[in-house]
Every structure is written in C-alpha cells, then in structure tokens.
C-alpha cells in the first residue's frame, strides 16, 4: 500500500508540472508560498516551496497535532485539568499569551483554544508539559513526528515558535502537516474556526482575518516574528461538482498582516476559480479485465485500491482519455494489490498523468495440469 501511495504521489507531481505549463500562477507577495488541493493531494502551484523559512507561531500546529494524538490515544482527556508551571507562566512576557496562572489549573480544552485561537505561547508550553512531561522531551517528539510525516526539511526547537536558529521548516512541509491535521482530527480542527476566545476574563480574537472575510475558510493559523515576517496557513472548502473540495494555502514571509490575508485569499480564489477536482475512478472499481496465465481462473479484475482524484484546469477533465498499459503476460499467482500495469490519462495525444493499476483480487496457481497446458500455450504464442 505504501508503494502504491508513493506512486500516486509521483503521478501527482507529473500532473502538476503539466498544469503549470498551461495556466500561469498568480503573483504572490511572499518569500515562499504554495497551494495544495487537499482533496486530491495535489500541489497546484508554488513558488520556492522548499525554501528554508522560520515558522514562527505556525509551529503551534505541530504542538496541536501531538496533543490531538495524545487525546486519540487516551493519554489525555479533553476535560482534564492541567497544573500550570512557572516555566509556562513566564514564557516571553512580550509575546502572545492566553494568560494562564500557576495558581489556577486549566483544562486541555481551554489550552487548545488558547493555543490555536489566541496563539498563546504559555498555552504551548503547558500543553507540551502535559503531553510529554517537560518541554525538551516534547520537542524530541515534535521532530520525530515531523520525520514520520515526511517533513524532511523541518526542525523544531520549541513548542511555540519563538525565534531560534534551530526552528525552521518549508512551505511544503507545513502543507503536509496541515493536511494531516485536517484529515486525521476533524473534530479538533474545528477549534481553528473559533473567531474569539475568552480566558481569565480576557477576550482575544482569532488572528486569521479570513474567518470574517470568507465563509468557506475554516482555519488554520497565523504566525509572525520580526525575522519571519507575517505568515499564514489558510484552508477553505467549497463545492466542486459532486465533491466538496478543500484547498490549503501556505504563505510565508509577507510584510504585513493585511498582505498575508489578501495574498492567502488571492491564492484560494485562484485555485477554486481555475481548477476542478474530479473522481476518475472509485476505490475497487474494475477498470479492465486482464487475461491471466497458469491461474485458477482465466481472467482477473484490475483497478485501484483507493479513489483516484485529480485536479486539473477547468475544461480539461472532459478531454482526458484513458490508455491502459499492462505487464503482459500476467502469470499466477498474483496477490491482490500487486502492480499489473499503468493507466495513462491522455489529453490531445499527450500524457497528463500516469497511475499504477493493481490486481483487485488474488488469483492462485492452477493445478499442475492447468499450468502445463498454459506453459505450452505461452510457448506457442
């Protein structure tokens, strides 16, 4: 399955390259940016997505992710009360805080709202200590998780994102993390859409201005330091034919809060207006029936083990024509999930993408007599 998903990912890159040649990307006033279609997993457009950048408070998305995992694994409870350490209380007094107090225990739920809505650095430290016992151990978990998710150009130095030479990432890596949060923890991702939160009699608004400007935006997070500039990950979900389509924009290093908001909105609108996501094939749908030799049956169903979704410029989907290339002859035994060829989607005689095709069923070997007969047939073929 991992090999199949990797092959699907590589085909997405092939498709993205073809798309980039036909539809110019917008001009975005940022050091680095990208637009990801989370529905298909496809990168639509990007500028310097692998540039090393400072994540600032976007670091808190990983802190939230690890907390969500702890909740899923029953290591924490959402209503659990957490004691506030002096270390969490004293974190950079000039930075954003939710204003927790060492004398007052606080719930994990309130800390998550303080983290993602108010961007509290004190909340980040308190959650790190609740999950891992201490901040240093939590940072180790952050980096281990980043590697597991494929964020190969990322390193975390703390749970909040205050400046450190050992705190860096890329727009591409952040899009990976954002997609995992949304897909794995939708029940907790909803916190990102909360417009304001009150704790300790102090009400603070969510810094994601798109929540007020675009009703389809439901997250995700902003960040800012003098060295990082103004950064933002935004996500929106809008109807697209028979699907609900989600886009994720990552904008790093703009010069103001207003600019990161405007450029994020520009990216999302451009992606929704100029592209569509279509389901080419459903999971386990039979694409073709292939002849199989020396098997317990003569034919085998082939197709895909997952839904095949692709994002293309509007007007292209109707022009795509499938071209199947099999690894003939197919000789039993063939296990379900085995790669048996590839399907090319052609547009005007040119390949737009390639997808690996797999066996949808297991075909065992025939009897010794059946194998002998097919060996003779193959020899004569």
Q: Which residues are catalytic, by number?
A: 57, 60, 119
In the DSSP assignment, the letter for residue 93 is: T
Number of other residues whose CB lies within 10 A of the CB of residue 236: 23
Cβ atoms of 249 and 265 closer than 8 Å: no
| Spatial separation of the C-alpha atoms in residues 243 and 324, rounded to whole Å | 26
- Alpha helices of the chain — where are they, by DSSP H? 2-22, 60-72, 86-90, 108-116, 121-132, 135-148, 171-184, 186-189, 210-213, 257-274, 368-380
321 among annotated binding-site residues? no
8 A C-beta contact, residue 31 and residue 253 = yes
Alpha helix positions (H), 288-354:
none
Q: Which residues contact 370 (CB under 8 A, 6 or more apart)?
A: 294, 295, 296
Sheet holding 286-293, edge to edge: 321-326, 339-347, 350-359, 299-303, 286-293, 330-331
For 311-359, the three-class secondary structure string (H helix, E strand, C coil) is EEECCCHHHCEEEEEECCCEECCECCCCEEEEEEEEECCEEEEEEEEEE
Please tell me the distance from the alpha carbon of residue 264 to that of residue 203, in angstroms, as a whole number: 26
The annotation places the binding site at 221
The annotation places the binding site for substrate at 221
């Amino acid at each position: 399955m991992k090999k199949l998903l990797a092959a699907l990912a590589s085909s997405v890159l092939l498709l993205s390259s073809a798309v980039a040649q036909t539809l110019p990307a917008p001009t975005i006033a940022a050091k680095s940016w990208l637009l990801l279609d989370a529905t298909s997993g496809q990168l639509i457009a990007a500028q310097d997505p692998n540039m090393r950048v400072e994540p600032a408070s976007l670091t808190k998305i990983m802190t939230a992710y690890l907390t969500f995992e702890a909740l899923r694994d029953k290591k924490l409870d959402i209503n659990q009360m957490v004691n506030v350490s002096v270390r969490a209380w004293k974190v950079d007094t000039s930075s954003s805080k939710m204003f927790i107090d060492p004398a007052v225990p606080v719930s994990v739920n309130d800390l998550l709202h303080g983290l993602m809505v108010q961007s509290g650095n004190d909340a980040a430290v308190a959650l790190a200590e609740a999950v891992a016992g201490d901040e240093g151990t939590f940072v180790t978990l952050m980096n281990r998780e980043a590697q597991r998710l494929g964020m190969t150009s990322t390193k975390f130095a703390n749970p909040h994102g205050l400046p450190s030479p050992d705190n860096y990432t890329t727009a591409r890596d952040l899009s990976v993390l954002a997609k995992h949060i949304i897909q794995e923890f939708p029940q907790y991702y909803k916190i990102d859409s909360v417009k304001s939160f009150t704790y300790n009699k102090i009400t603070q608004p969510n810094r994601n201005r798109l929540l007020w400007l675009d009703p389809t935006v439901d997250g995700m997070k902003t960040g800012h330091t003098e060295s990082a500039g103004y950064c933002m990950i935004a996500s929106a979900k809008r109807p697209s034919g028979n699907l609900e389509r989600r886009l994720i924009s990552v904008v790093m290093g703009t010069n103001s809060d207003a600019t990161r908001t405007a450029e994020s909105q520009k990216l999302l609108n451009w992606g929704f207006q100029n592209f569509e996501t279509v389901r080419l094939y459903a999971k386990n749908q039979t694409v073709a029936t292939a002849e199989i030799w020396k098997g317990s049956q003569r034919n085998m169903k082939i197709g895909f083990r997952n839904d095949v979704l692709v994002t293309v410029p509007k007007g292209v989907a109707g022009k795509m024509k499938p071209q199947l290339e099999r690894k003939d002859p197919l000789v039993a035994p063939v296990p379900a999930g085995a790669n048996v060829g590839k399907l090319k989607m052609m547009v005007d005689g040119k390949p737009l993408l390639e997808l690996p095709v797999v066996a949808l069923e297991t075909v065992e070997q025939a009897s010794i007599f059946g194998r002998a007969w097919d060996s003779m047939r193959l020899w004569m073929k």
